[in-house]
A and B are shown apart, each in its own frame.
Chain A
Amino acid sequence: MAEPFLIGENMTGGYGKADILHDCTVAVEKGRIAVIVGPNGAGKSTAMKAVFGMLPLRAGTVRLNGEDITALSPQDRVARGMAFVPQNQNIFTSLTVEENLEMGAFLRRDDIRPTIEEVYNLFPILREKRRQPAGELSGGQRQQVAVGRALMTRPSLLMLDEPTAGVSPIVMDELFDRIIEVARSGISILMVEQNARQALEIADRGYVLVQGSNAYTDTGKALLADPEVRRTFLGG
């Protein structure tokens, strides 16, 4: 099998002494969507942080486009084309929507107007609210700001930790549509989702994480069809 665009392979590590991740592997192909699901506290967010270099790994490697980036700092990974939307506190609440986008593009020295326009086209509501402090937006709008901010570096890989948290079903479908749109443009997406069923439907690859280990790994469709996965993780 060819090397995936991004892979966190056999990752073991945690925040302190105790390991949270045990030999955990997640990967995503170019322009595809990979989804990590699992119960609360399974280590999904921890796996994302590990892939982004925000957590020291005791074992395992992270490779981007075939290159070992395990030792790189998060900032260096941003410079290599990775972008991350954390689960919590993923916007600058006191900055306006547009300033949030500008800060997303902080490392760029070229003209960022076209990218801001692209984000506004993707999330039209943000254009309307661009002069408002992001902290005054609704939950769904905030998530759009968070994703927009991450897109500002024009990343080749977008990592999203529960982008639909606290979002109504209609907006959630919207957001998933936008995410598919982003993937179509060639950006690989690695995302954690609580809404496992919908997420696996759009996933090219799905990972079920339990207690920091891979429990099931397959295509999204296959996981949805697996009676064992359905019974234990998707509620029947």
Chain B
Amino acid sequence: MEFLNAAVVLANFVLIPATAYGAQLALGALGVTLIYGILRFSNFAHGDTMAFGTMVTILVTWWLQSLGIGLGPLPTALLALPVGIAATAAMLLVTDRVVFRFYRKQKAVPVTLVIVSIGVMFILNGLVRFIIGPDDQRFADGARFIVNVRDFEAWSGLQEGLAIRTTQGITLVTAVITVALLFWFLNHTRTGKSMRAFSDNEDLALLSGINPERVVTITWIIVAALATIAGVLYGLDKSFKPFTYFQLLLPIFAAAIVGGLGNPLGAIAGGFVIAYSEVAVTYAFKKVLGYLLPDRLEPDGLVQLLSTDYKFAVSFAILVIVLLFRPTGLFRGKSV
């Protein structure tokens, strides 16, 4: 019984939230890694791209809500998501035409493109704040819980309750579907294979007649989808605030780099590594240990390694450790 209670507490406060967060980071990291693999630079505007897509989705959600259109127990935002993706794709393609393409034609070195992407980041940053404001926005509606604490307690007879929020469930289901579609696309379609070929060996791809501009266009569209989905899921799960999305850049890059930049599978693994570490290191284990240890050993303190204020330090530390011992990341991406 004690053990079960401990397990439930652990699942409730660490495993479930970290899994949802990991899935969100993984989707974000997939976008970063695709851009790195195909366009060959680290896109610092990715966090703000997520914010842009989420903002559009929120605006459409509000509009749908005002019309009384909804999805019942599911959040209305899912209905608005395709519009958000389309708008983000359009925005990214315009940005590519007016900014990135110029530097691509010049064969600018990656570090130049990184700095250019920082410029794009600032512009998006301002644009999003200008349109929706810098404040917190909540836009989740529908049923709040798939499993709620009281029902769980009644059903299990345990002291501790387990809650699974709808947004956590939706995050996982959506992430699984998105990743499955992405891998199917990359591995089984002609266009997807040509993207992998281009990422692998650009010169040979040209010699095979693969059109680089087409590859780049499709990459941006996929990145728009990944970024918007990641952003909306994160926003549903937590809340939407432009500054938070900018801050997400660190764990997302950490995930992509830890997994191996340019390697999609690595991005997913990296997302979960970062999420579990971040949540585990900042969680106070007092209650879990209270159930597991005999009474006299029960800890006095919170048994929390780091306060949640330091959660970004976790990403950073993991990043440094991985780069020291395995510069190409866990899944052998390109070395950075």
Binding site for B on A (CB under 8 A): 52, 74-75, 78-79, 84, 86, 89-95, 99, 102-104, 106-107, 149, 153
With A78-B209, A79-B209 already in contact, the answer to whether A89 and B203 are too (CB < 8 A) is yes
Instruction: Please determine whether B197 and A103 come into contact, CB atoms closer than 8 angstroms.
Output: yes
Instruction: Please determine whether B204 and A89 come into contact, CB atoms closer than 8 angstroms.
Output: yes
The residues in B between 202 and 222 inclusive whose CB is less than 8 angstroms from any CB of A are 203-211
Give complex CA distance A223, B199 in Å.
Answer: 43
Residues of B within 8 A of A104 (CB): 208
Residues of A within 8 A of B196 (CB): 92, 94-95, 99
Give complex CA distance A106, B207 in Å.
Answer: 10
Instruction: Please determine whether B209 and A94 come into contact, CB atoms closer than 8 angstroms.
Output: no
Residues of A within 8 A of B203 (CB): 86, 89
Instruction: Please determine whether A103 and B206 come into contact, CB atoms closer than 8 angstroms.
Output: no
- Which one of B190, B197, B209 contacts A95 once the chains associate, using CB atoms below 8 Å? B197
Check if B66 is an interface residue, CB within 8 A of chain A: no
Interface string of B46-82 (1 = CB under 8 A from A): 0000000000000000000000000000000000000
Ranked nearest first, the 5 interchain pairs of A and B with the lowest CB-CB distance are: A107-B209, A92-B200, A103-B197, A78-B209, A94-B200
Whole-angstrom distance from the CB of A142 to the nearest CB of chain B? 12
Binding site for A on B (CB under 8 A): 190, 193-194, 196-197, 199-201, 203-211
Whole-angstrom distance from the CB of B228 to the nearest CB of chain A? 28
Whole-angstrom distance from the CB of B263 to the nearest CB of chain A? 9
**Interface secondary structure of A, over-half rule:** loop
Instruction: Please determine whether A106 and B204 come into contact, CB atoms closer than 8 angstroms.
Output: no
Residue in A79, A93, A104 with the greatest tally of chain B CB atoms within 10 Å: A104
Residues of B within 8 A of A79 (CB): 209
Give complex CA distance A91, B205 in Å.
Answer: 9
Whole-angstrom distance from the CB of B252 to the nearest CB of chain A? 23
Residues of A within 8 A of B205 (CB): 92, 103
Residues of A within 8 A of B201 (CB): 89, 91-93
A73 and chain B: residue at smallest CB distance: B206
In the complex, 18 of the A-B residue pairs with CB atoms within 8 angstroms, ordered by the A residue number, are: A75-B206, A75-B211, A78-B208, A86-B207, A91-B204, A92-B196, A92-B200, A92-B201, A92-B205, A95-B197, A99-B193, A99-B196, A99-B197, A102-B193, A103-B194, A103-B208, A103-B210, A106-B209
Residues of A within 8 A of B206 (CB): 74-75
Residues of B within 8 A of A78 (CB): 207-209
Give complex CA distance A106, B194 in Å.
Answer: 8
Residues of A within 8 A of B194 (CB): 103, 106
Whole-angstrom distance from the CB of A16 to the nearest CB of chain B? 14
Q: A78-B207, A92-B205, A93-B200 are in contact. List 17 more A-B contacts (CB 8 A).
A: A75-B209, A75-B211, A78-B208, A78-B209, A86-B204, A89-B203, A90-B204, A99-B196, A99-B197, A102-B193, A103-B205, A103-B210, A104-B208, A106-B190, A106-B208, A107-B208, A153-B209
Give complex CA distance A2, B206 in Å.
Answer: 33
Whole-angstrom distance from the CB of B193 to the nearest CB of chain A? 6
- Which one of A52, A92, A102 contacts B204 once the chains associate, using CB atoms below 8 Å? A92
Residues of B within 8 A of A74 (CB): 206-207
Residues of B within 8 A of A90 (CB): 204
Residue in A75, A93, A153 with the greatest tally of chain B CB atoms within 10 Å: A75
Residues of B within 8 A of A52 (CB): 207
Residues of A within 8 A of B197 (CB): 92, 95, 99, 103
Give complex CA distance A91, B210 in Å.
Answer: 14
Give complex CA distance A74, B206 in Å.
Answer: 8
With A102-B193, A103-B193, A106-B194 already in contact, the answer to whether A95 and B200 are too (CB < 8 A) is yes
Give complex CA distance A91, B211 in Å.
Answer: 17
With A74-B207, A78-B208, A84-B207 already in contact, the answer to whether A102 and B200 are too (CB < 8 A) is no
Whole-angstrom distance from the CB of B55 to the nearest CB of chain A? 36
Give complex CA distance A99, B199 in Å.
Answer: 14
Whole-angstrom distance from the CB of B208 to the nearest CB of chain A? 5
Whole-angstrom distance from the CB of B261 to the nearest CB of chain A? 14
Give complex CA distance A99, B220 in Å.
Answer: 23
Give complex CA distance A106, B197 in Å.
Answer: 11
A82 and chain B: residue at smallest CB distance: B207
Residue in B193, B196, B197, B208 with the greatest tally of chain A CB atoms within 10 Å: B208
Whole-angstrom distance from the CB of A182 to the nearest CB of chain B? 18
Give complex CA distance A93, B193 in Å.
Answer: 13
